[in-house]
Structure 1
Amino acid sequence: MSYNFFDFIGNIGVLLILTTYFALQIGKITPNSILYSLLNAIGAVFVLISLYFKFNLSAFFIEFFWLLISIYGIYKNRLKQTNKQSK
């Protein structure tokens, strides 16, 4: 078994997602925070990069939708901040 740079990138992505979820569970971040969505999005992108080189359809689906949901969370957070600033 070989371990390539894209494997490392994918592992960093998994570590980001797991660490973010753990931080959520222990109350260090909230699910509505921009940090939560950003870390999840970055983690998903890293895993998707690794999947470009070693494709797996199931993993692609979960990470693609993980990214879309994270982007929605970022958008929702930014919209809330914009609404607060305009008041």
Structure 2
Amino acid sequence: MTLVDWIGFLGVFQILLAYVLNSIGNITNKGLVFILLNLIGATMACVASILLNYWPFIILEGIWALVSLYALFNYKKTT
């Protein structure tokens, strides 16, 4: 695997980890861990997609990262 593959793999892994942990009740979707896993994961997946020049996932992961960043700002306001 190339460096780009690893960046994308680790990013997607973080997004899936957030989903699994939330689904089994270990974290809440309003919590900081969930938000950060999604933000960092989506950013890494977006970077990998940019390096691969694959527009569908650039758009998907870019929007996912922006929504997660918005959630992080809202989290900071409520704490």
Mean Cα deviation higher: 23-32 or 49-58: 49-58
Larger radius of gyration: 1
Equivalent runs, 1:63-78 vs 2, <5 Å = 63-78=61-76
* Residue 48 of structure 1: how far off its partner (Å): 1.4
Structure 1's consecutive aligned runs of 4 or more residues displaced over 4 angstroms after TM superposition are none
**5+ long unaligned stretches in structure 1:** 82-87
Q: Provide the C-alpha distance between the structure 2 equivalents of 1:53 and 1:76, rounded to a whole number of angstroms.
A: 30
| RMSD over equivalenced CA pairs, Å | 0.8
**5+ long unaligned stretches in structure 2:** none
Query: SS at the partner of 1:68?
Result: helix
Identity over aligned pairs, percent: 29
Q: TM-score scaled to structure 1, two decimals?
A: 0.86
Corresponding residue number in structure 2 for 1:17: 15
Aligned length: 79
Q: TM-score scaled to structure 2, two decimals?
A: 0.94
Preserved CA contact (<8 Å) 1:34 1:73: no
Q: Provide the C-alpha distance between the structure 2 equivalents of 1:69 and 1:20, rounded to a whole number of angstroms.
A: 15
